[in-house]
Amino acid sequence: MSFETLGLSAELLRAIADKGYSQPSPIQLQAIPPVLEGHDIMATAQTGTGKTAGFTLPLLQRLSETNPASGKRPVRALILTPTRELAAQVAESVDTYGKHLSLKSAVIFGGVKINPQIQKLRNGVDILVATPGRLLDHVSQRTVDLSQVEILVLDEADRMLDMGFIRDIRKILASLPAQSHRQNLMFSATFSGEIRKLADGLLDSPVVIEVARRNTAAESVDQVVHMVDRDRKRELLSHMIGSQNWKQVLVFTRTKHGANRLAQQLERDGLPAAAIHGNKSQGARTRALADFKKGQVRVLVATDIAARGLDISQLPHVVNFELPNVPEDYVHRIGRTGRAGNEGEAVSLVCVDEHKLLRDIERLIKREIPRIALSGYEPDPSIRAEPIQKRRAPQRNGRGNNGSNAGRRGNGANNGRGKRPQSGNRAANDNQRRRAS
Ligand code: AMP
């Protein structure tokens, strides 16, 4: 089945050809026709399946078929994403696929100045990509008008709930036209009871699409575990990168501090490396990602939330320098490789402290990950397990702070918010969420 048979316009087919896609991915095959017909959809799709084009292409087509009212362009499509990086990437896709159309788009997220965003919104945009916290800032300052939104997309809805955005989302929904007056598209990697509840209130007789089983680790990813002593992980990682001549590798650590330290150590080993996490400014994060994509940085060290939504096409290697505390994050992490039909390899460096985490992951993905012992790096059997420093569970309920996306707030980002009466806990939770977006 080709893109031509899906009913997409010549302008979009040209953009797809420019991008070099020859065939629609399964989610695109299933999502594009019903979205073009105006249906609501609820899609359970893993990251890396091509879901962004699955909603962006038909959304662009629908908007381009009707002319906006003359005068200032109203926001007619709103795409909500959980993280800044994902927002930036979705916005890039909107630009890429819409390059032969005359629609205007903008992306807004926290951690950067609000004034340029206000200016852009003032000039009028058809498509707005946003994270919930900063969007609410604009709503409360009345610098955005969402009353004419025709299409709403909730991307990575499960992650937005995990990050505690549900109240923000409900407030945003309240500033949109009534549910029956807009098309609603919801994408989620998992389909929990909470997601179902959100979907029930949001979607009208949705077409339900499922392209990957829940929590199934991507089939195209080769997964291996290297058992190694905790103090020799860095040495082994440098050895693997050097001896196997890896050019582009994404490495996960559990903490911001660990990410910084590892990036510095790798640099000292002669491997160009950068760390991305929430304590870095948005500019530094964007720069690190751009350098990584260009191949100037060979190793990108990231924490879980900072890495969420990263789309680096054909990323060949993902390394878990430390296993995540939450088994589902393993699936998200390795989803960074083997994307859209490419082969990928996910290597986990596991020390004696992490055996339980490994068992939890294997239980979740329902398979045993092959162990490889690299000669010279076999673990010393006399080393005892030590408890992993207990950190609050990352972002499961919006309270924990694994710190990976807690970026700075931009100027004026708190306008209109300080007045709200909030209980201590709630205020703290809100602050946490705002930082994340
Ligand atoms: P996504 O799941 O939307 O993050 O997309 C994952 C990656 O797949 C991105 O790098 C896209 O550019 C790429 N992609 C999307 N659709 C296709 C397609 N039909 N053929 C090849 N690559 C694609």
As annotated, the residues of the chain forming the CATH 3.40.50.300 domain(s) are 3-210, 221-390
Q: What pLDDT score was predicted for residue 414?
A: 34
- Which residue has the CA at smallest separation from atom 14 of ligand 1? 50
Q: Does domain 3-210 have CATH number 3.40.50.300?
A: yes
Residue to mutate (ligand 1; options 30, 52, 56, 129; most atoms within 8 A of CB): 52
Contact 326, 393 (CB under 8 A): yes
pLDDT in tens, 310-354: 666 567 899 999 999 888 888 888 877 765 555 678 999 999 999
- Ranges 33-37, 96-100, 154-158, 191-195: which has the least confidence: 191-195
- Which residue has the CA at smallest separation from atom 1 of ligand 1? 50
Name the residue type at position 205: S
Report for 21-30, 279-288, 419-428: range of highest mean pLDDT: 21-30
How far, in Å, CA of 147 to CA of 135, rounded? Answer: 14
φ/ψ (deg, to 5) at 379: -65, 145
Q: What pLDDT score was predicted for residue 310?
A: 65
**Contact 53 CB / ligand 1 (< 6 Å):** yes
SS3 for 116? Answer: helix
279: Cα within 13 Å, side-chain hemisphere: 11
Q: What's the whole-number average pLDDT of the chain?
A: 83
Q: What pLDDT score was predicted for residue 337?
A: 75
pLDDT > 50? residue 77: yes
Which of the four pLDDT bands, split at 50, 70 and 90, describes residue 391? very low
How far, in Å, CA of 77 to CA of 80, rounded? Answer: 10
Fold of 221-390: Rossmann fold (3.40.50)
